[in-house]
Structure 1
Amino acid sequence: MECSLECANRSSNQDFILLGLSPSPSIRNTLFAVFLALYLLILLENTLIIYLTCSRHELHKPMYFFLGNLSALELCYVSVTMPTLLMGLRLGACRVSFPACMGQRFLFLALMCTKCALLVSMAYDRYVAVCCPLHYPVRMGPPVCRSLAAGAWLGGLGVSAARTACVTRLARCGQRVLDHFFCKALSLLYTVLTPACSPVVYCLRNREVHDALRRSLC
């Protein structure tokens, strides 16, 4: 009881101060321009994929259904992390409340877990298409695809809620994690560079997508 009261008193007014990637204003302004351009590129790429998978009849297939869901997830994913990053680069050190930090962490983890589940669903779709082609229309019909996508989103939310609860408990009891340059670089890799490259790797290099885009432009 005494330990829990001590932890609660110590963290009752706990805020986080984001120091940004660099203390130099000139470097922060350069990074702000770079990451803003990447953010807009990610929004454009994924919005284009969602539009094509919804509007073009030839892309109404299970694989592109999952790719459309993946693009929608990427839009949410970067919109959770990038605005905070851009704000820190633009304003310098800024204060973030503990509930706001935990809320952002919950959404981030939920979308990460959902992405993993969607990738598993896409792998299963390709497995059925290659190994069981005659059963593919039955095993990967629209009801099955919708169930897999809904399960991925709900499963991601459930896992994220459990992990965030554990992290919140550790943070309120004074647990700290050392921040290193490697951690910052790794964070930028999966919060900025991966969402920027994913649409190109998964969809925009596909010939069917190229043909659908060409027909839409014509």
Structure 2
Amino acid sequence: MEYYSAIKKNIFESVLMRWMKLEPIIQSEWNQTTLVDFILLGFSDIPDLQGFLFGVFLIMYMIILMGHSLIIIITKMDPSLQTPMYFFLGNFSSLEICYVSVTVPRLLIDLCSQSRNISFLACAAQMYFFLVFGATECLLLTSMAYDRYVAICNPLLYPLLMNSRLCIQLAAGCWVSGVPVHIVLTYQIFSLPFCGSNQLNHFFCDIPPVLKLACGDTLITETLVYVIAVLVVTVPFMLILGSYVRIIETILKLPSATGRAKAFSTCSSHLMIVALFFGSGLITYLRPKSSHSIRMDKFLSLFYTIVTPMFNPMIYCLRNKEVMVALRKFLLK
């Protein structure tokens, strides 16, 4: 009996030792597979300002919705604005409403609630739509720059080149092009293993803070992010710069000072929006990972997700006499 008891004891100890060796691996796998949501920390580090921030962001969101909605209405209704330039402007305003509505409503909910949890699926969906609308904005701003290039550098060919069919094709291409690319990118990011903390130190699911929570080697994913950022952000930005170099050269050759002033006024608003949007985007996604800081990331994200879209209608209205006249007529009606 003592012999069999000793055998049982040895078997039990052997199984126990094996379990103790396997437990960290099992626990690690459990942590990676059972992390089903994130916690968006947002601005929880300044609890005394939650109400104030809610009020500020709500007012900014309402300004964005009203400003861009007015632009959409007047570009559709006013006969004098039925041109390619204002067709793209109407598309741009529709896009801005979609772009802002991906992040701001969720931010407002988090500011007035204790629970800041966001599921994996909701986080992936938010990131996907944010990236798709951001890519669409880059391409649409490029199309608007091409429209200005043709109008100023080839005015005689403008009605022929910028016909309604081409405008619709360009706009549709801008809206659709980013869809397959960002499906792949979002899938790649959320296929990474996530372990440890699930606290996302941001106010929405952006790429840099999500990648910080990923385990293992993220080199392939980071390389993919840089490649897509170059294709979607840097290449359109360079095309816009090239267009405006040619535009400025053409404007400076105009004999009339009045003509030069009018040409500059139609381009300056678009150029200001390009500088605001692309500047913050390039700094966020193309700077080295080592230089990322939480505060700077949040500030830049606020700039290109809320501040720039809020100022865009003001820039277009205040610097464009045709839009101002159409807006005045609409408000008087």
Task: Establish whether TM, by shorter chain, passes 0.5.
Answer: yes
Q: 1:52-67 alignment to 2 at 5 Å?
A: 52-67=74-89
SS for the counterpart of 2:118 is strand
Is residue 102–residue 168 contact of structure 1 (8 Å, CA) maintained in 2? yes
Q: Distance in 2 between matches of 1:72 and 1:204?
A: 19
Matched with 2:125 is: 103
TM-score by length of structure 1 reads 0.90
Q: 1:113-152 alignment to 2 at 5 Å?
A: 113-152=135-174
Matched with 1:183 is: 297
Q: Distance in 1 between matches of 2:134 and 2:30?
A: 29
Q: Distance in 2 between matches of 1:139 and 1:29?
A: 52
SS for the counterpart of 2:43 is coil
Q: Runs of 5+ in structure 1 lacking a partner?
A: none
Q: Distance in 2 between matches of 1:194 and 1:11?
A: 38
Residue 169 of structure 1, CA deviation = 2.4
Closer, same or farther: CA 7–134 of 1 in aligned 2, 3 Å:
farther
Is residue 70–residue 115 contact of structure 1 (8 Å, CA) maintained in 2? yes
Tell me, yes or no, if structure 1 residue 197 matches structure 2 residue 316: no
Matched with 1:22 is: 44
Q: Give, as a single letter, the amino acid of the residue that structure 1 aligns with 2:326.
A: A
SS for the counterpart of 1:16 is strand
**Which one has more relative contact order, counting CA pairs under 8 Å at least 6 apart?**
1
Q: Give, as a single letter, the amino acid of the residue that structure 2 aligns with 1:186.
A: L
Q: Distance in 1 between matches of 2:134 and 2:325?
A: 31
Q: Return 80-89 or 91-100, whichever deviates more.
A: 91-100
Q: Distance in 2 between matches of 1:85 and 1:66?
A: 29
Is residue 50–residue 111 contact of structure 2 (8 Å, CA) maintained in 1? yes
Q: Distance in 2 between matches of 1:149 and 1:182?
A: 33
> Displaced runs of 4+ in structure 1, greater than 4 A?
6-9
Aligned CA RMSD, in angstroms, stands at 2.1
TM-score by length of structure 2 reads 0.60
Residue 184 of structure 1, CA deviation = 1.0
Matched with 2:322 is: 208
SS for the counterpart of 2:175 is helix
Q: Runs of 5+ in structure 2 lacking a partner?
A: 1-24, 196-210, 214-291
Report the count of equivalent residues: 213
Q: Distance in 1 between matches of 2:308 and 2:178?
A: 19
Closer, same or farther: CA 166–57 of 1 in aligned 2, 3 Å:
same
Residue 20 of structure 1, CA deviation = 2.5
Closer, same or farther: CA 158–200 of 1 in aligned 2, 3 Å:
farther
